[in-house]
Amino acid sequence: MKETEEVFTIAVTVTDKHCPAGERAGSDYMREGKIPVLSCEGACIRGEIARLAAYMVAKEEPFRRGCHGELLSVPGSALARWMTTAEKVILIDGCFLHCQGRVLENLIGREKLARFDALSHYKKYTEHFDIDSVPEAGRKEAARLVADAVLAEIRQTYSPACGCKAADGCA
Ligand code: SF4
């Protein structure tokens, strides 16, 4: 994809509401130094595979699932504060359009963002849009492939500030 410095702006209506479960999770993850894992949340099969892969990565230590909805639209929430102050953020976009990555690189900074293109790892289903156009087993298999590639690269290139290896099951 062509890299450009050109940007555009969107407006978000402010809310004074908070999600109680999200506040608890965000506070816990911040205190425990967990690393947020986000996906593009795209509606097609590529977005679904990225979403499944993000859940798989987030089951490992020291990662946890981030919420792009709160990150973008509830900036004062505990989840948003956790994601914006984390030392690293893992992002799995569904494809080469990098819809979420092009937002997050401006929101949290390129240096903190580890971006992945899920499709580049499993390289199929490009003729489909609907999630259920690919059987569940195929979706899970592709997501596992992506999650394993993401974990392998992160564990090679990143060590948490606590000094342990992410592969060691950092608490
Ligand atoms: S990155 Fe690809 S899959 Fe994800 S929202 Fe954008 S177009 Fe859809």
What local confidence, expressed as pLDDT, does residue 164 receive? 52
Residue 60 covered by a domain: yes
CATH number of residue 59's parent domain: 3.40.50
Give tens-digit pLDDT for 49-99.
Answer: 999 999 999 999 999 999 999 999 999 999 999 999 999 999 999 999 999
- For residue 133, is it within any domain? yes
> Is the shortest distance between the CB of 44 and ligand 1 below 6 Å?
yes
Distance 97 CA to ligand 1 centre (A): 6
| Cut 0.85: pTM above it | yes
Distance, CA of 152 to CA of 157 (rounded, Å) = 9
Residue of the CA atom closest to atom 7 of ligand 1: 97
Supply the range of the domain harboring residue 50.
Answer: 20-156
How many domains is the chain built from? 1
DSSP assignment string, 83-108: HHHSS-EEEEESSTT-HHHHHHHHHT
Q: Is 142 exposed, middle or buried (0-12, 13-18, 19+ CB in 10 A)?
A: buried
Domain-located, residue 4: no
Is there a domain that residue 150 lies in?
Answer: yes
Regarding the beta carbon of 99 and ligand 1, being less than 6 Å apart is answered yes
164 within some domain: no
Whether residue 131 lies inside any domain: the answer is yes
Any atom of ligand 1 within 6 Å of the Cβ of 68:
no
Q: Could you tell me if the CB of 167 is within 6 A of ligand 1?
A: no
- pLDDT-based confidence at residue 162 (cuts at 50, 70, 90): low
Give pLDDT tens digits for 127-138: 999 999 999 999
Edge-to-edge strand list for the sheet holding 35-39 = 63-65, 35-39, 89-93, 113-117
Q: What token pair was written down for 40?
A: 């593009």
pLDDT band at 4, cuts 50/70/90? confident
Mutate to test the pocket of ligand 1, among 93, 102, 126 (most ligand atoms within 8 A of CB): 93
Task: For the beta carbon of residue 24, count every other beta carbon within 10 angstroms.
Answer: 12
Name the band, by pLDDT with cuts 50, 70 and 90, for residue 122: very high
pLDDT of residue 120: 98
Q: Is 1 domain-assigned?
A: no
Q: What are 54's two structure tokens?
A: 């993000």
Q: Please report whether residue 129 resides in a domain.
A: yes
Closest-lying ligand 1 atom to the alpha carbon of residue 93: 1
Contacts of 95 (CB under 8 A, 6+ apart): 42, 46, 117, 118, 119
Distances (CA, A) of 133 to 67, 94, 155, 156: 26, 16, 33, 35
Beta bridge partners, 116, equal 92
pLDDT at res. 161: 62
